[in-house]
Chain A
Amino acid sequence: MSVTATTAKPVSTRVELEINGVAADVRAGLSTTLLTVLRDELHLTAAKRGCNQGVCGACTVEIDGVPMRSCLSLAHGCVERPVRTLEGLLETPRMQALQRAFAASGAFQCGFCTPGMLVAAHALLAADPTPDDAAVRRELSGNLCRCTGYARIVAAVQDAAAAINASGEAAS
């Protein structure tokens, strides 16, 4: 890979972000990613760095309500765009149903891919409360897992969907 010589020193400037509903004042250079800011400045370490190229999915967070790669999002590019990490989604009934289903199904082993997987699954169920097998596989194919072989993750997402829908019906 080629390396270009830098003549200018990277400059960190103030940038105000909205993370999990709270204003966060951080310092970031132009090339600083949201992932770096989340982990190193704000100590929100659920989002992980697995590849830094947007392929593995371990860094997935919600920006503007939609799952995105925090490793491919520049901190300065996230002004006025609400960011939600796994830490900020823990209270939602949908996430809690997913966590219960993941635990019951054995849908994680080492846990490194799990935060990104949960954020992506959460968004999937928000957009499509009754995804079929094919939809789950398609929508989560961008979240790599090396431990589980995926089958239990698919089952857990389906189980969570069923549980959410059942409780929703009960409530209505």
Chain B
Amino acid sequence: MSAVQHGMLWPRTVDEATAMLADDPDARPLAGGATLVAMMNARVLEPQTLVNLSRIDELRGIRGEADGGVRIGAFTRHAETAACALMRGPAAVVRQAASKIANATVRNMGTIGGSISFADPGLDYPPAIVAAGASVEIAGPSGRRRIAAADFFVDWYTTALQPGEIVIAVLLGAPRMGGGAYVKHARVAGDYATASAAVCIDAAGPVRAVIGSCGSTPVRDDDADALLSGDRSDAAIDRAAALLEARADPLDDVRGSAEYRRLLIPRLLLRAVRRAEAGTDT
């Protein structure tokens, strides 16, 4: 085990980064900084060592995979994700979510890896990537692994990341026909969502509907998805919303009461389904 270095460390590869994190359990990975530095400014965290991921080429950029899927490197800024034409069809839900994060300047800084690793349930990516059926690729001391986005978010500010592990990419399946929509209800532009709904409709049939900001993790329900996959009438959406609402566990906070969030679930879900059907980008 090498001597613990303090300060800003600059790994050039994923393996170097995970090795640095393994060497020093108090070290923290630094991506865009939008979240981490805000917490440091507020003295919520006071790390002595930061592993800066910005010079690792493998983490950067969005590319199409051989199988037609889309690989979003963990260090991809929200601005890039929001502008990415590769995310068509149902995957547009992720692009829409990226475009609604904070504001243009913060979107130049924040990254998808940093964002989902923070796992604040109020964030925009979590429901969107779960609705898109994405998987999260993780690297750590024991190698690499992939897990479904739905399994990545475990609890409040808690992910499936083990000590020393970092997110290295978010993988979306091949673009298919269909539509996706991310509907965000917030007090003003740039605020965290009071509640959100992310819907992906695969033209071949399956629908995935996820509710954000209404519990410790994105809210989804297999039965609700099954229902919507066969029937997208107003009545069906209402029944699906009830199933999702039963799984939701929203809190009272300054953005809204738990009761208000529950009221929003069917309303936002309806809006998201109709927008996904229309293929309208908002």
- A60 touching B7, Cβ below 8 Å: no
- Max chain A Cβ within 10 angstroms of own Cβ: one of B7, B38, B105, B108: B105
A54 to B189, CA, bound (A): 14
Closest Cβ of chain B: how far from A72's Cβ, in Å?
4
Return B3 CB to nearest CB of chain A, in Å.
15
Question: Contact partner of B7 among A13, A69, A71, CB < 8 A?
Answer: A13
| Known A-B contacts A4-B43, A4-B46; A72 and B102 likewise in contact (beta carbons under 8 Å) | no
Contact A141 B190 (CB under 8 A): yes
Chain A residue at minimum C-beta to C-beta distance from B50? A30
**Whole-angstrom CA separation of A67 from B102 in the bound complex:** 14
B280 within 8 A of A: no
Judge whether A68 is part of the interface by a CB distance below 8 angstroms: yes
Given A72-B38, A77-B33, A77-B52, check contact A1 B104 (CB 8 Å).
no
CB contact list, A56-73 vs B, under 8 A? 57, 60, 66-69, 71-73
Number of interface residues of A (CB under 8 A): 34
Question: Which one of A6, A31, A33, A120 lies within 8 Å of B104 (CB-CB)?
Answer: A120
Q: Would you list 26 pairs from A and B whose C-beta atoms are within 8 A, ordered by A residue?
A: A1-B43, A4-B43, A4-B44, A8-B48, A30-B49, A30-B50, A31-B40, A52-B38, A52-B42, A54-B37, A54-B106, A55-B190, A57-B105, A67-B108, A68-B105, A68-B108, A72-B106, A73-B33, A74-B50, A77-B30, A120-B105, A140-B104, A141-B103, A142-B105, A142-B106, A143-B103
Query: A109 at interface (Cβ–Cβ under 8 A)?
Result: no
Give every chain A residue within 8 A of B46 (Cβ-Cβ): 4, 6, 31
A142 — which chain B residues lie within 8 A by C-beta?
102-106, 190
Task: Check A165 for interface membership: any CB of B closer than 8 A.
Answer: no
What B residues does A4 contact at CB under 8 A? 43-46
B163 within 8 A of A: no
Task: State the CA gap A61–B73 with chains docked (Å).
Answer: 25
Contact assessment for A74 and B189 in the assembled complex, using a CB-CB cutoff below 8 Å: no
The verdict on B109 contacting chain A, using a C-beta distance below 8 Å, is yes
Most buried by B among A66, A140, A143: A66
Contact of A54 among B8, B34, B47, B52 (CB under 8 A): B34
B32, closest chain A residue (CB): A72
- Identity of the chain B residue whose Cβ is nearest the Cβ of A55 in the assembled complex: B190
- Smallest CB separation, B143 vs chain A (Å): 28
* B contact residues around A6 at 8 Å (CB): 46
Query: Does A53 sit at the interface, judged by CB under 8 A?
Result: yes
How many positions in chain B have a CB within 8 Å of any CB in the partner chain? 31
Contact A1 B38, beta carbon cutoff 8 Å: no
Q: Complex formed: what's the CA distance from A33 to B49 in Å?
A: 15
- Known contacts: A120-B105, A139-B104. The answer to whether A74 contacts B41 by CB under 8 A is no
A1: chain B residues within 8 A (beta carbon)? 42-44
Q: Which of A11-38 contact B (CB under 8 A)?
A: 11, 13, 30-31, 33
A74 to B48, CA, bound (A): 13
* A139 and B107 alpha carbons, distance in the complex (Å): 10
Which chain B residues in 6-30 approach chain A with CB under 8 Å?
6-8, 30
Q: Tell me which of B45, B46, B104 has the highest count of chain A C-beta atoms within 10 A of its own C-beta.
A: B104
* B129-148 Cβ-contact flags toward A at 8 Å (1 or 0): 00000000000000000000
